[in-house]
Amino acid sequence: MTEMLKAGQKIPEFSSVDQEGKALTSSTLMGKPSVIYFYPRDDTPGCTVEACEFRDSMGDFSGLGVGVYGVSVDTEASHKKFHQKFGLNFPLIVDKDKKISEAFGVLNGNTAKRTTFIADSGGKIVHVFEKVSPRGHSSEVHAKLDELKLIK
């Protein structure tokens, strides 16, 4: 397994699609700070709590010029169903071949470890949350963005 990326490293190049089949690449994330959170599976209890908290605070994140992206090894169809069921308002990146999770160093067998990366507008990782607890994580990320002075 690839070693987990650390603060100071650039996000790896990747190319995939979101829940709607829209192309997304590492370049898509450039130009504004990004929150890239990896989660094990769509529509499971912890993953739903985490996604819904990001959904509920998305106005804060987007209003501050920050992009939020969820990533798991689920399929486009699974992401779409999860996205629609909970009215998510940010992209879910498809990683069914597990290459993105592997590149970030968070692949754990057949799923991704619950890990969140904050990258600056140039794609440099400025903070990593390991062993994330889903409840309250969105607030924790917001506080870190504020502390790092990444929000406008």
In terms of residue numbers, what domain contains 140?
15-21+32-147
Helix (H, G, I), strand (E, B) or coil at 60: helix
Q: Choose, from 47, 100, 119, 145, the residue flagged as catalytic.
A: 47
Q: What is the pLDDT of residues 6-58, one digit of tens each?
A: 999 999 999 999 999 999 999 999 999 999 999 999 999 999 999 999 999 98
Cα 70 to its chain centre, rounded Å, is 4
Question: Active site includes 47?
Answer: yes
**What local confidence, expressed as pLDDT, does residue 120 receive?**
95
pLDDT digits (tens, 9 = 90+) for 88-147: 999 999 999 999 999 999 999 999 999 999 999 999 999 999 989 999 999 999 999 988
Which CATH number is 113's domain given?
3.40.30.10
In a domain, 129, yes or no: yes
Q: Is residue 142 part of a domain?
A: yes
Count structural domains, the chain.
Answer: 1
> Model-level pTM?
0.96
Identify whether the C-beta of residue 36 lies closer than 8 Å to the C-beta of residue 117. yes
Q: How far is CA 151 from CA 6, 33, 60, 109, 144, in A?
A: 21, 8, 10, 35, 10
- Could you tell me if residue 87 is inside a domain? yes
